[in-house]
Amino acid sequence: MSFLDERTKASLVLADGTVFSGEAIGAIMDQPRSIVTGEVVFNTSLSGYQEIITDPSYAGQVIAFTYPHIGNYGITPRDDESIRPFCRGIIVRELATSPSSWRASGDLEQFLVAHGVGGMTGVDTRRLTRHIREAGAMSCAFGSAPIEELLFAARNEVGTTGMNLVDEVTTDAPYFVEGGPRRVVVYDFGVKRTMLRRLAELASIEVVPARTPAAEVLGRNPDGILLSNGPGDPAALAHLVREITTLLDAVPILGICLGHQLLATALGATTYKLPFGHHGGNHPVLRIDNGVVEITAQNHGYAVVEDSLRDAVVTHRNLNDGVVEGIRSEKIAVFSVQYHPEAGPGPHDSRYLFAEFARMMDHANARTGNR
């Protein structure tokens, strides 16, 4: 790989006109007048950059890593969370060009090039993070094009508000994952592979496209349904909410991340966009029923309006800003969390939620005599 002084100079320009200098990496490292756009967000995780980059929930976004050294341990296919990265690009302080790990099959820049993902290194990511925290997440453009062209592109980037990005990341056809004795259908809004691995410990899984009608899902006679994570604005997904509404009280449901927002909407709640979202592996969440604080992994830019909840109670709350992190219906067998209990790598504090889902399914089956 090229040394930093041989790289193409590049700029990151935010929609408000703020400019950051650096060098081009990945798919744009040697492209003249390159331009990449997206909504810029920052992630505070200390490791797991490959899982973050391949998380479909980042569709439409440019990821700025707050940890200064990215790429240290290389890349391995075993850590991919999806078939490819769906993010628009990455921003780092320093890209490691000589990774060291017995697991590595290549380096991060090779991975970015192979998947057509561009980025920048040499950026003052501390300054960038502080700016986003104060001004909020916003559209950006980066590349080797002149600054005035990048600014024009940034201001014309639509971002994620009002955008249906689920159609970009969902599976084209159903597929199966062998696992435990129960049967679960997973709505793929951008599901992570780690989520499927955790779920497979308790159930055999059929993953279905996001637009699968509720009647088809119920026709599979599942013991439970999981509404997965995914990208974009939940308010743009009314067509999915209609199907979820049909599923309520028919079968136990667990929602995670976007699935949590859509389940809450189906229960009558509304959502809103957070100033700069929650992206990282170190968010403290209060479990209200017993006062335990869980350290959680999170990746979302939208949240549920607490005052809009009618048929559900808040079960978890973010201790940083008070955001609703979990809900449970008092009438039917459904619950959801905004964070990622499957997180890999990440805290294990919340994995009990899968056991709760299993108990909910078993209780429903015992009550109806299905098993």
Residue 371 lies in a domain: no
266 and 193 in a single domain? The answer is yes
- pLDDT per residue as tens digits for the range 50-70: 999 999 999 999 999 999 999
Rounded distance between C-alpha atoms, residue 11 and residue 21, angstroms:
5
The bridge status of strand 89-91 relative to strand 118-121 is: parallel
Rounded distance between C-alpha atoms, residue 226 and residue 285, angstroms:
21
Rounded distance between C-alpha atoms, residue 267 and residue 148, angstroms:
46
170 and 91 in a single domain? The answer is no
89 and 207 in a single domain? The answer is no
Residue 292 lies in a domain: yes
Catalytic annotation on 109? no
Catalytic annotation on 342? yes
177 and 219 in a single domain? The answer is yes
Catalytic annotation on 340? yes
Closest by CA to 293, choosing from 302, 284, 301, 281, is: 284
Choose the catalytic residue: 257, 260, 300, 325: 257
340 and 265 in a single domain? The answer is yes
Judge if the upstream peptide bond of residue 68 is cis by omega within 30 degrees of 0.
no
CATH code (residue 28): 3.50.30.20
Q: How many residues does the chain have?
A: 371
183 and 101 in a single domain? The answer is no
147 and 200 in a single domain? The answer is no
- pLDDT per residue as tens digits for the range 130-157: 999 999 999 999 999 999 999 999 999 9
- pLDDT per residue as tens digits for the range 188-230: 999 999 999 999 999 999 999 999 999 999 999 999 999 999 9
Rounded distance between C-alpha atoms, residue 131 and residue 126, angstroms:
9
**Could you tell me the strand order of the sheet in which 324-329 lies?**
175-177, 203-209, 182-188, 224-227, 253-256, 334-337, 324-329, 312-318, 271-287, 292-304
Low-confidence ranges of the chain (pLDDT < 50): 1-4
The residues, any chain, with a CB within 8 Å of residue 184's CB and separated by 6 or more, are 199, 203, 204, 205, 206, 222, 223, 224, 225, 226, 361
The residue range of the domain holding 85 is 4-156
Query: Domain tally for the chain?
Result: 2
pTM, two decimal places: 0.95
127 and 21 in a single domain? The answer is yes
Cα first-last separation, the chain: 58
Residue 161 lies in a domain: no
127 and 180 in a single domain? The answer is no
133 and 175 in a single domain? The answer is no
Predicted confidence at residue 106, as pLDDT, reads 94
181 and 323 in a single domain? The answer is yes
Choose the catalytic residue: 260, 283, 300, 340: 340
246 and 190 in a single domain? The answer is yes
Residues 186/196, Cβ–Cβ less than 8 Å: yes
Q: Where is the domain boundary, 156, 186, 219?
A: 156
